[in-house]
């Protein structure tokens, strides 16, 4: 690699965040040689030292090494850091177990994928140390070489248990081939790649994890394209980056409504995409991705910055300066207003994304929420229609169909009763049949109860209208739960009935939620007194960490809401 070019404001911010981590690392590192975890760095959330990729010893080692090597760092060539780096590198070697594998102590043991995450990061660091040839870090470099070499058997024969693990393993194996020339490592990487790349034409990775794992896949394919010298492996990365540009709320949060992983409905900012947007903007000279990298770095540090070894932004600034420095690249503005339909199927679209500057609406199918809405910093995190119908609770439309200027979804809930089985039928039951299911799949249906419910969402300027209609033969308990961020509050002078510390009963015709200067106003166009006081319909789960506005009724019911966002002092009249 060539020498570092001029430093961009983004790099200076990344450097500052890395420097902020150093006092914690030094304070929490175990430097007592008689301690069983000597060299390890205590994690705040566990009280123990860890070798895991995210926030563990490998990431802290990368932080120490990069601030030591960065010419603009306050820790540049600070000899006080050398012993700490040597100690944590020794710790990482010491915790390797069978076949050179490490464990994620609270979850995965003797784990090839968790080892692979670390190998990718430490291989980049090892290569950087080779390039810099810094005499003071020779012992650290040798410890890294031994760690990486020890991991070869475990990764060459090891397996995975999630989709993204395949690509992390492939990248790690290619690094082992790059450094040690192990042909078996390359052969195993190619075996994983031979399964086929699980990124759709629209740009979605299998796990649909916009907040965590999609970007991991992107980084690993950036690595694989370089290590295999196959530039076509960057195509899924490009598709995902274009896709994600339509999944960013105006407050910098990513859409996580439909993730299959732990980021679902969580607060994950676009800063997680800074690294790959910057790398690919530099690689492709792409002005829009450069603008998105600018946006992403603005949100970096918005919450506590926890580095990972394999995606450590400062490490990549030092390793790929020509790509990461985007100062001279002309910018193109990313989309601020758009409407996008995602994943078309028999039941309509699985995801609808509509954004109009500060207003951001998401509709999803097949989830225990039908979507979300945000206006600036004000967040309506989840819209949950539920029915007290045989414990089925949350209405989960499979998709959304376009109906003029609206989107609609019709869902039919069915609940049968079953008749008795004869002794002969009991004797003929398969041995593996579910006893707890009362053998219902083998019984005659005696009576079938059903209810049909229809949802219609009409996007409008600064918000949307919601219409929910349910007809039933019985007075079924119905509830529309609007779940707002706990960082805001409802105006209490409007007469909402507080059922407990977080649940408000909508008994009038107007509710206003505020978060700083940002406001979401909800007008009930079908005003009625609540017909029941349940906070949670049977079959639903208690809501935690949100402020909830409940529209309670009995079927037949028709709920009509107008939802609008605005800034304080700029209120718009609903029409």
pLDDT tens-digit profile of 268-289?
999 999 999 999 999 999 999 9
Rounded-to-integer distance, Cα 130 and Cα 439, Å:
65
Q: Supply the pLDDT for residue 432.
A: 82
Rounded-to-integer distance, Cα 35 and Cα 55, Å:
21
Rounded-to-integer distance, Cα 298 and Cα 76, Å:
25
Query: pLDDT tens across 48-100, in order?
Result: 999 999 999 999 999 999 999 999 999 999 999 999 999 999 999 999 998 99
Under the banding of pLDDT at 50, 70 and 90, the label for residue 122 is very high
Neighbours of 423 (CB within 10 A): 7
Question: Is residue 393 pLDDT above 50, yes or no?
Answer: yes
Nearest to 311 by CA among 4, 13, 14: 14
Q: Supply the pLDDT for residue 486.
A: 96
Residue labelled with tokens 């500052």? 16
Question: Is residue 6 pLDDT above 90, yes or no?
Answer: no
Cβ partners under 8 Å of residue 168, min gap 6: 113, 116, 117, 120, 216, 220, 310
Residue 553 has phi, psi (to 5 degrees) of: -155, 175
Question: Is residue 236 pLDDT above 90, yes or no?
Answer: yes
Under the banding of pLDDT at 50, 70 and 90, the label for residue 44 is confident
Rounded-to-integer distance, Cα 250 and Cα 355, Å:
9
Find the angle CA(485)-CA(518)-CA(396) to the nearest 5 degrees. 40
Under the banding of pLDDT at 50, 70 and 90, the label for residue 527 is low
Rounded-to-integer distance, Cα 523 and Cα 561, Å:
6
Query: pLDDT tens across 296-339, in order?
Result: 999 998 888 999 999 999 999 999 999 999 999 999 999 899 99
Tokens at residue 92, please? 């990482």
Rounded-to-integer distance, Cα 458 and Cα 561, Å:
10
Query: pLDDT tens across 459-496, in order?
Result: 999 999 999 999 999 999 999 999 999 999 999 767 78
Rounded-to-integer distance, Cα 560 and Cα 524, Å:
6
Q: Supply the pLDDT for residue 49.
A: 93
Find the angle CA(19)-CA(23)-CA(25) to the nearest 5 degrees. 95
Residue 497 Cα distances to 94, 356, 527, 543, 548, angstroms: 59, 32, 15, 17, 11
- Which segments of 43-120 are extended strands (E)? 102-104, 108-111
Q: What 8-state DSSP symbol labels residue 98?
A: G
Rounded-to-integer distance, Cα 481 and Cα 449, Å:
24
Under the banding of pLDDT at 50, 70 and 90, the label for residue 1 is very low
Mean pLDDT score, 162-172: 97
Q: What is the dihedral of CA 417, 421, 427, 432, to 10 degrees?
A: 0
Rounded to the nearest integer, the mean pLDDT of the chain is 94
Cβ partners under 8 Å of residue 416, min gap 6: 445, 446, 447, 448, 449
Under the banding of pLDDT at 50, 70 and 90, the label for residue 570 is low
How much helix, strand and coil, in percent to the nearest 5, is found in the chain?
Answer: 35, 25, 35
Residue labelled with tokens 């102590």? 105
Mean pLDDT score, 330-350: 94
Cβ atoms 485, 515 nearer than 8 A:
yes
Question: Is residue 385 pLDDT above 70, yes or no?
Answer: yes
Q: Supply the pLDDT for residue 522.
A: 96
Q: What 8-state DSSP symbol labels residue 272?
A: G
Question: Is residue 434 pLDDT above 90, yes or no?
Answer: no
Rounded-to-integer distance, Cα 329 and Cα 281, Å:
9
Rounded-to-integer distance, Cα 396 and Cα 468, Å:
13
Q: Which residue has the higher pLDDT, 108 or 184?
A: 184
Neighbours of 201 (CB within 10 A): 8
Question: Is residue 573 pLDDT above 90, yes or no?
Answer: no
Coil vs helix vs strand at 187: helix
- Return the biggest CA–CA distance within the chain: 83
Q: What 8-state DSSP symbol labels residue 80?
A: G
Rounded-to-integer distance, Cα 526 and Cα 556, Å:
13
Under the banding of pLDDT at 50, 70 and 90, the label for residue 3 is very low
- Which segments of 388-501 are extended strands (E)? 393-394, 401-403, 406-418, 445-460, 463-471, 477-485, 489-490, 497-498
Nearest to 256 by CA among 131, 122, 140, 353: 353
Q: What 8-state DSSP symbol labels residue 242?
A: H
Coil vs helix vs strand at 380: strand
Mean pLDDT score, 563-572: 83
* Torsion sign across C-alpha atoms 271, 273, 279, 285: negative
HEC string of 38-52? CCCEECCCCCCECCC
Question: Is residue 537 pLDDT above 70, yes or no?
Answer: yes
Q: Supply the pLDDT for residue 431.
A: 81
């Amino acid at each position: 690699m060539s020498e570092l070019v001029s430093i961009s404001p983004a790099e200076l911010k990344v450097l500052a965040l890395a420097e902020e981590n150093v006092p914690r690392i030094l304070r929490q590192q175990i430097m007592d040689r008689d301690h069983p975890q000597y060299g390890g760095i205590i994690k705040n959330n566990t009280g123990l030292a860890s070798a895991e990729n995210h926030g563990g010893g490998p990431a802290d080692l990368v932080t120490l090494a990069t601030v030591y090597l960065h010419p603009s760092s306050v820790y540049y060539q600070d000899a006080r850091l050398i012993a700490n780096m040597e100690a944590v590198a020794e710790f990482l070697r010491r915790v390797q177990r069978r076949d050179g594998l490490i464990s994620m102590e609270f979850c995965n043991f003797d784990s090839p994928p968790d080892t692979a995450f670390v190998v990718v990061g430490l291989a980049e660091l090892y290569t950087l140390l080779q390039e810099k040839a810094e005499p003071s870090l020779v012992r650290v470099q040798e410890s890294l070489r031994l760690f990486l070499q020890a991991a070869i058997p475990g990764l060459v024969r090891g397996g995975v248990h999630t989709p993204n693990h395949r690509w992390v393993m492939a990248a790690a194996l290619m690094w082992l081939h790059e450094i040690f020339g192990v042909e078996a490592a390359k052969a195993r990487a190619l075996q994983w790649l031979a399964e086929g790349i699980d990124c759709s034409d629209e740009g979605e990775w299998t796990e649909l994890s916009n907040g965590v794992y999609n970007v991991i896949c992107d980084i690993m394919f950036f690595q694989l394209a370089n290590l295999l010298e196959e530039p076509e492996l960057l195509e899924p990365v490009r598709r995902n980056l274009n896709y994600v540009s339509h999944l960013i709320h105006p407050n910098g949060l990513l859409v996580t409504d439909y993730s299959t992983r732990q980021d679902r409905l969580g607060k994950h900012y676009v800063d997680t995409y800074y690294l790959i947007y910057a790398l690919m903007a530099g690689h492709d000279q792409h002005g829009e991705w450069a603008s998105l990298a600018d946006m992403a770095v603005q949100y970096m540090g918005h919450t506590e910055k926890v580095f990972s070894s394999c995606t450590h932004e400062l490490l990549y600034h030092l390793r790929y300066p020509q790509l990461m420095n985007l100062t001279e690249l002309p910018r193109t503005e990313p989309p601020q207003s758009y409407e996008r339909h995602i994943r078309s199927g028999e039941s309509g679209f699985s995801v609808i994304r509509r954004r109009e500057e500060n207003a951001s609406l998401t509709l999803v199918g097949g989830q225990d929420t039908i979507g979300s809405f945000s206006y600036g910093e004000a967040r309506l995190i989840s819209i949950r229609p539920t029915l007290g119908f045989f414990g089925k609770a949350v209405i989960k439309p499979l998709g959304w169909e376009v109906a003029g200027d609206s989107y609609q979804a019709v869902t039919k809930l069915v609940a049968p009763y079953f008749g008795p089985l004869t002794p002969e039928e009991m004797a003929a039951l398969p041995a593996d049949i579910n006893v707890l299911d009362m053998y219902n799949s083998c019984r005659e249906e005696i009576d079938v109860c059903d209810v049909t419910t229809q949802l219609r969402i009409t996007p409008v300027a600064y918000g949307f209208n919601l219409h929910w209609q349910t007809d039933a033969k019985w007075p079924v308990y119905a509830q529309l739960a609007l779940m707002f961020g706990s960082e805001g509050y409802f105006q209490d002078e409007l007469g909402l009935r507080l059922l407990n510390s977080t649940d408000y009963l909508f008994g009038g015709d107007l509710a206003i939620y505020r978060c700083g200067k940002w406001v979401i106003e909800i007008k009930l166009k079908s005003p009625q007194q609540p017909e029941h006081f349940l906070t949670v319909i049977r079959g639903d789960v208690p809501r935690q960490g949100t402020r909830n506005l409940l529209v309670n009724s009995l079927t037949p019911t028709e709920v009509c809401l107008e939802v609008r966002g605005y800034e304080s002092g700029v209120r718009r009249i609903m029409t």
